[in-house]
Homo-oligomer: A and B are copies of this chain.
Amino acid sequence: MDPESAHERLDLVDALVQSSFLVQESMRGVARRHDVSIVQARLLGILRDREPGILALAEHLGLDKSSVTGLVDRAEARGLIERRPDPDDGRAIRVGLTADGRALAGTAEREVRAELQRLSAGLTEAQRDQLASLLGEVVSAGQAARLR
């Protein structure tokens, strides 16, 4: 553990950084138990309500399109997603979940949710609402900055 005691008062930046590692480790553990990487799990999550092409996926993930080709290759080889022809553009494809992929996405989400809820179990209902609201503001600012 860190030299700072667990109850040392963290400044906001430290708290954001440490919580980001904590959450990522949680997600990594869940993904690993299902034998996928955190990126693969994220890919499945994105596809739950979208059927994007490679370029749109690359944009969403912040990766180069060639990286996404490989990601999609491996997930397809495992039967989690499918490439489907794009009816409107002969050059393009649409990436979609298979039934297996959708099931895994659902299970993984439930598990992450359960783990993260345990981490906030020490807060009162009001505190949890407040935390969600404040974090939501930060996330909004970040999304706005990304579009700049």
Contact = CB atoms under 8 A, between A and B. Distances in A.
A135 B1 contact: no
Contact of A135 (B10, B122, B137, B144): B10
Interface residues of A, number: 57
B117 A22 contact: no
A68 to B, nearest CB: 16
A17 interface: yes
A71 interface: no
B132 A10 contact: yes
A132 B15 CA distance: 6
A77 interface: no
A141 B120 contact: yes
User: How many chain copies does the complex carry?
Assistant: 2
Given A19-B20, A118-B145, A139-B18, A113 B13 contact: yes
Contacts of A11: 132
B1 A131 contact: no
Contacts of A91: none
Interface in A1-50: 1-3, 6-7, 9-13, 15-27, 49-50
